[in-house]
Structure 1
Amino acid sequence: MTEPRTEVPPLDCRTKALFLDFDGTLVDIAPTPDAVIIPADLGSLLARLNTALGGALAIVSGRSLNELESFLRGFDGIMVGSHGSEARGMTPPLDRLPEGLESAQTEMRDYATSRGLLYEHKSMGGAIHFRALPDAGPEVEAFIERLAITNPRFEVQPAKMAFELRPAGFSKDGALQILSDQPDFRNRSPIYIGDDTTDEPALAWAETHGGFGIKVGDGKTRASQHLPDPAAVLDWLRAGLEH
């Protein structure tokens, strides 16, 4: 991994395909997942970008699809949720709930409640956040790893101050590979924008498939480009429309 450059090339809507993470990329990280503040014009901005890009725009997030839809009203383009295991605007990658999902979610919820941690329910998995108790990170990781061993249809997904359980075999870079074969995305060079460890495989995928990744915030990354925060991402997107 390297320190990315800070001067990001302008967005050329005629030749690029654009893939956007949500938390930490389009909106600031909030103390709890349901407390994010959505910019008033975000849905309309994405809708205009989708038109300018000829439909080659997709939201690719670890969030559940129903949450993305509720947060991004006004945008009717492609959304990929739950780290690639559910989607809108394309054939759903996973067309049924994974076996053992409910019992795993119950275990995660009970564990988090008993230790004063935050459990985040997801339609295809779940997450335990330890932002309020940073020292609990190693214990949470060990618990999630044990849970994945007893539930082989799931994998551990590290995130910012959290560990998740997600369906095995799905990932954000896998979603980009599938989307790149869709007619609207074909023959366009990819740009992926994301902020944390869950985004690194997708950032690397864009770098190795004729495009580039943009890392949002600090830290080592496989992306060649950098923007400091979601406000800068939105400014870059708006400038792309003008360009």
Structure 2
Amino acid sequence: MNDAFELTPRDWKDWALFLDIDGTLLDLAPTPDAVLVPSTLPAVLNGLSRRLSGALALISGRELAAIERLFPEMRDAAGAHGAQWRLNGRGMDGIDGWPRSLADEVAARAAAIAGVLVERKACSLSLHYRDNLPLADTIHALAEDVVRRSPHPLRLLHGKAVVELIPDAAGKGRAIERFMAEPAYRGRIPVFVGDDVTDEEGFASVNRLGGISIHVGGGRPTAARFHLSDPETVRRWLARLNDLPRGA
């Protein structure tokens, strides 16, 4: 992979920029609620959105409501891995949430395992085990059993010390493709920055569309063609783009 920090910015004003949040824009934290948004980051994102004529969206496993709490001024976002979708500040048709009874069952089974944090969302459910990494096989087996027995089509996303159950129709790649059909994004070069296994579908979609895929971190195979070392480097790279002279 090439270092994305060295990407020649000649054509960057023609980009459509898609950014994952946790582990990409923000440093990972012990729990989802413990992440911190650097004070300068919102202004950088808002500046880039203006310079890209609005073609900037956050693409996250977080729900839209959680994204809005972190970045209240961001108008375009896909939440819950694309199951929720917002354009120009308005919520758009997404994927129906899955039954409460199924979420109750998964939460009850996971609650019996010490060291698991259950994060319930409108359209998905996450099982975090960062505080007890040896639980990985147990959590994966539980989640795979739920998918096998569910009457509703589900699939698993295996992330960093987390397993997420999402509707089968959701996915970050599909969310990016949906944005690329919208007027503000159409005809631009898609650029997606992400860090986790859950972002690989997005990398594949961007590669297929002739765009730029950027993986944050290291230590595993990825479909991404460029690399940035950590969220701090991502933030410096975005600030560098935002600081380029208007004619650059």
The question of a shared fold, defined as TM-score above 0.5 by the shorter chain, is answered with yes
Alpha-carbon distance between aligned partners in 1 of 2:207 and 2:96, rounded to the nearest angstrom = 32
Which letter does structure 1 place at the counterpart of 2:234?
Answer: V
What's the CA shift for 1:203?
A: 1.1
2:182 aligns to what?
182
For residues 12-27 of structure 1, the aligned pairs below 5 Å read: 12-27=11-26
Alpha-carbon distance between aligned partners in 2 of 1:206 and 1:174, rounded to the nearest angstrom = 10
Structure 2 residue corresponding to 1:88, chosen from 86, 89, 92 = 86
Which letter does structure 2 place at the counterpart of 1:150?
Answer: R
CA RMSD of aligned residues (A): 1.6
CA contact (8 A) 1:109 1:119 kept: yes
Alpha-carbon distance between aligned partners in 1 of 2:113 and 2:227, rounded to the nearest angstrom = 36
Alpha-carbon distance between aligned partners in 1 of 2:215 and 2:74, rounded to the nearest angstrom = 25
- SS for the counterpart of 1:55 is coil
Alpha-carbon distance between aligned partners in 2 of 1:124 and 1:217, rounded to the nearest angstrom = 28
Alpha-carbon distance between aligned partners in 2 of 1:196 and 1:95, rounded to the nearest angstrom = 22
Could you tell me the TM-score, scaled by structure 1's length?
0.92
Per-residue CA shift, 1:57-88, capped at 9, x if unaligned? 01001111100000112x23201000101012
CA contact (8 A) 1:25 1:230 kept: yes
Distance 1:13 1:53, change over 3 A: farther
Give the stretch that moved more between structures: 89-98 or 132-141: 89-98
Alpha-carbon distance between aligned partners in 1 of 2:74 and 2:137, rounded to the nearest angstrom = 39
Per-residue CA shift, 1:150-209, capped at 9, x if unaligned? 222322121111111111211000011111110011111111000010001111221221
For residues 70-219 of structure 1, the aligned pairs below 5 Å read: 70-73=69-72, 75-89=73-87, 92-94=92-94, 96-98=96-98, 100=99, 102-116=100-114, 117-151=116-150, 152-218=152-218, 219=220
- SS for the counterpart of 2:48 is helix
Correspondence 1:223 to 2:232: no
- SS for the counterpart of 1:183 is coil
What's the CA shift for 1:95?
A: 5.5
Structure 1: 5+ residue stretches without partners: none
Alpha-carbon distance between aligned partners in 2 of 1:10 and 1:106, rounded to the nearest angstrom = 49
Alpha-carbon distance between aligned partners in 1 of 2:85 and 2:39, rounded to the nearest angstrom = 24
CA contact (8 A) 1:17 1:188 kept: yes
Which letter does structure 2 place at the counterpart of 1:41?
Answer: T
Distance 1:173 1:95, change over 3 A: closer
Per-residue CA shift, 1:88-143, capped at 9, x if unaligned? 21663426433x2x122212222222112111121211111111111211111111
Alpha-carbon distance between aligned partners in 1 of 2:74 and 2:176, rounded to the nearest angstrom = 18
Q: Percent identity?
A: 32
- SS for the counterpart of 1:192 is strand
Could you tell me the TM-score, scaled by structure 2's length?
0.90
2:49 aligns to what?
50
Distance 1:30 1:139, change over 3 A: same
- SS for the counterpart of 1:97 is coil
1:238 aligns to what?
239
Distance 1:108 1:10, change over 3 A: farther
Alpha-carbon distance between aligned partners in 2 of 1:242 and 1:81, rounded to the nearest angstrom = 28
Alpha-carbon distance between aligned partners in 1 of 2:8 and 2:232, rounded to the nearest angstrom = 16
- SS for the counterpart of 1:238 is helix
